[in-house]
Amino acid sequence: MEDCHKKILRRYRINIVTSLDPSSLYDRLLDKGIFTSDMIEKIKNSGTRRDQARQLARDLETRGSLAFPLFLECLEDSEHHSLAKLLQNGGLQVQDLKSNTLIHPLVRTRPLSPVLDLQQQLRTDLTGTLTLSPNSENFRVQDQARTRMQGRNRRDSLQLYKMDANPCGRCLIINNVDFKPQSDLSNRNGSNIDCDKLERRFKALNFLVEVKTNLKQRGIKHELSELSKKDHSSYDCCVVVILSHGTEVSHNRFPGAVYGVDGQYVPVQHITNYLNGKHCPSLQGKPKLFFIQACGGDERDSGCEVPSDEVEESSMGGADDQTDAIPSSSSSDSLSTSDEPDAGATLPTPSDILVSYSTFPGYVSWRDPQSGSWYIETLDRILEENAATDDLVTMLMMVNHEVSQNSAKGIYKQMPGSFNFLRKLLYFQSSTLGQNVS
């Protein structure tokens, strides 16, 4: 398959997964020779409708150069008209980017009145090139095309973080599952599933991964302090993942706090301070990424009514889902003044930091005891499917969108989000992820 067609399939993977009914395509895909019967059976056995749609899109990339246009025909034949149009229009966008030239609309000639003919001549420059009237439809179309090109040029001018070190950097995962009885906090069943997923994922992204389990408050601080003391000079990035119970606390930078298994918490803003310019000079100017799977408070979001076309089928959420919520607190875990950020740093204090939260500040975060948390499951899958083509911020927006479609107990919603202080685009190393894509 052509690279441009692969990019379209990856760019609109979410749309394919949420709207495609694979069962209506199987016979057509077989008749057109896109897949063999064995491949169709493999897709059917991959799981739910969404899982089958996801597997179909992946396998489609491995087929020949005619697979994409034939797939569009199958979509039209099975009345997936909107999806077919979306993918087809995506093809025009990719070709436009590939050629880096404006695609001018075809203007059909027609007889002109003498007055209009004179006006047209007056708008023709000395070289004989027709200059369109600002009031004409063709002028507006070309002007919109120029605006889009200028937007792409501005995005192209953004710098990229250097992410080619081998290994790329260190990744610390703190996985708190079993809480002490005196903490009055429940055990976090399903968290080990989250931990295993992200350990594999960041290893695949070429990080040195270290996992710490069931840490008390003091243990969390110790591991972060040890991480800040390491020499990161030969690395390009640093990642911290925390899977625990959480709560809402007073703050002046980053909201929320995470609990140790002893029931004592550490504010997120203090967690980020360990890796700032003052405490970890070898990470100055390098991206520092924090992924927090914990509740931001104890409030439950029952959602708000929206038009039906804004809501997509939920892939997760059941009656047994649990939260990582702890009642909010106005107190703050105290770090010494030496843990405060360096006001004289060369770069602004929050620069090159991104904190991705599983839920909106103040709200609960949902976790399935059997399959793990909504946020981590979705984050892992989005990284797997899109790290080869998309930057981190774009992928986190995909995570936000997918998680927002889920419902717990048929009622409650969840909205992830990020505090983004990155200065450049961040693309992970993805060679390992792309090995199975031909």
Beta strand 237-243 pairing with 288-293: parallel
Q: To which residue do tokens 């501005």 refer?
A: 154
CA distance 42 to 34: 14
Query: Do residues 249 and 330 lie in contact, with contact meaning Cβ atoms separated by under 8 Å?
Result: yes
Decide if 153 is inside a domain.
no
Decide if 187 is inside a domain.
yes
Task: Note the Cα 251 to chain centre separation in Å.
Answer: 26
CA distance 125 to 147: 23
Distance (Å) of CA 111 to CA 117, 139, 140, 267: 9, 19, 22, 73
CA distance 18 to 144: 30
DSSP string spanning 164-217? Answer: --SS-EEEEEEE-----GGGT----TTHHHHHHHHHHHHHHTTEEEEEEES--H
CATH of the domain at 205: 3.40.50.1460
Backbone angles phi, psi at 93, to 5 degrees: -65, -40
Give helix 392-404 / helix 374-386 axis angle, nearest 10°. Answer: 140
Would you state the pLDDT for residue 322? 45
Co-location of 275 and 356 in the same domain: yes
Decide if 264 is inside a domain.
yes
Residue 385, domain extent? 169-302+312-433
Would you state the pLDDT for residue 270? 94
Co-location of 278 and 360 in the same domain: yes
Would you state the pLDDT for residue 4? 87
Smallest CA-to-CA distance from 292 within 224, 245, 232, 334 is with: 245
Co-location of 184 and 52 in the same domain: no
Q: What is the pTM of this model?
A: 0.58
Decide if 403 is inside a domain.
yes
Would you state the pLDDT for residue 276? 87
Would you state the pLDDT for residue 251? 66
Co-location of 271 and 402 in the same domain: yes
Query: Do residues 209 and 199 lie in contact, with contact meaning Cβ atoms separated by under 8 Å?
Result: yes
Query: Do residues 340 and 273 lie in contact, with contact meaning Cβ atoms separated by under 8 Å?
Result: yes
CATH of the domain at 53: 1.10.533.10
Query: Do residues 391 and 401 lie in contact, with contact meaning Cβ atoms separated by under 8 Å?
Result: no
Per the annotation, the verdict on 74 as an active-site residue is: no
Residue 154: HSE in the Cβ half-sphere, 13 Å Cα cutoff:
6
Query: Do residues 102 and 146 lie in contact, with contact meaning Cβ atoms separated by under 8 Å?
Result: yes
The structural domain count of the chain equals 2
Co-location of 38 and 183 in the same domain: no
Per the annotation, the verdict on 304 as an active-site residue is: no
Domain boundary among 56, 81, 99: 99
* Furthest-apart CA atoms within the chain: distance in Å: 92
Query: Do residues 372 and 177 lie in contact, with contact meaning Cβ atoms separated by under 8 Å?
Result: no
Domain boundary among 51, 81, 99: 99
Co-location of 75 and 224 in the same domain: no
For 72, residues 6+ apart whose C-beta sits below 8 A from its C-beta are 84, 87, 88
Active-site residue (options: 5, 245, 270, 279)? 245
Domain boundary among 67, 99, 131: 99
Co-location of 258 and 356 in the same domain: yes
CA distance 186 to 154: 49
Co-location of 387 and 263 in the same domain: yes
Would you state the pLDDT for residue 1? 80
101 secondary structure, DSSP code: S
Co-location of 335 and 417 in the same domain: yes
Co-location of 78 and 187 in the same domain: no
Decide if 156 is inside a domain.
no
pLDDT tens per residue, the chain (438 residues)? Answer: 888 888 888 888 888 988 899 999 999 999 999 999 989 999 998 888 888 988 999 899 889 889 999 999 999 999 999 899 889 887 554 444 344 433 333 333 444 444 444 444 444 444 444 444 555 555 555 566 565 555 555 555 568 999 999 999 999 999 999 999 999 898 988 889 999 999 999 999 999 999 999 999 999 999 999 999 999 999 999 999 999 998 888 767 788 899 999 999 999 999 999 998 788 999 999 999 999 998 643 443 334 343 444 444 444 444 444 444 444 433 333 233 233 332 333 455 568 999 998 886 656 666 576 667 878 999 999 999 999 999 999 999 999 888 877 644 455 667 888 899 999 999 999 754 334 333
